[in-house]
Each structure stands twice: as structure tokens, then as C-alpha cells.
Amino acid sequence: SAYVPLDMKLPLERLSYYVRDLELKTIVTFNVNNIAWNQLGINCIIDLEKDAYLINQMSISKPNLSISIDETAYIIYTSGSTG
């Protein structure tokens, strides 16, 4: 998995491109209209506000994971004008 910040103020067409290009499967959001994500084909939406009760019931223990330096941590798209 990787962190990809997305701005809901972007046109739906641009967000749709990101979803397709990155093959996004899950969105983690905070109090955002989930209808737009459903329109983009995202079926797994974790809303940090709406799902807070369920999230608070999850374990806070550090997961036993092996992570390689070759794995993607985050992806940032730019307009191309930033260099």
C-alpha cells in the first residue's frame, strides 16, 4: 500500500484519472462526501469520522510486518509546473 494525497476540489475527471492510473482500491478520508468516491469506482471507503467507533475498537499493537526499502511509501502527483 502507499499514501496518495488527493484533493477533492479537483475536477472529477482528474480524480478519476488518479484512481485508474494508481489502481486505487481503498480511500481513507475524513468527513468527505463518499458519493464522489463511489462514482470513481472505489468501493472500500474508510471515513475516519463516520467509522471512528469501529477504528477505536481495533488493536493498537504494532503489526508484525516486514517492509522492504523497495516498497512504495507515497505518491504525489503534481501539475508539472512545480518542477
Reply yes or no on whether the pLDDT at 19 is more than 70: yes
Terminal-residue alpha carbon distance, the chain: 26
Cβ atoms of 39 and 13 within 8 Å: the answer is no
Per residue in 22-67, pLDDT tens?
A: 888 888 888 666 567 777 788 888 888 889 899 899 888 988 888 8
What is the rounded distance in angstroms from the CA atom of residue 39 to the CA atom of residue 51? Answer: 20
pLDDT at residue 53, as a whole number: 93
What is the rounded distance in angstroms from the CA atom of residue 82 to the CA atom of residue 70? Answer: 26
Per residue in 68-83, pLDDT tens?
A: 888 877 788 776 655 5
Amino acid 59 reads: S
Amino acid 63 reads: P
Residue 26's closest CA among 6, 50, 54?
6
Residue 3 banded pLDDT, cuts 50, 70, 90: confident
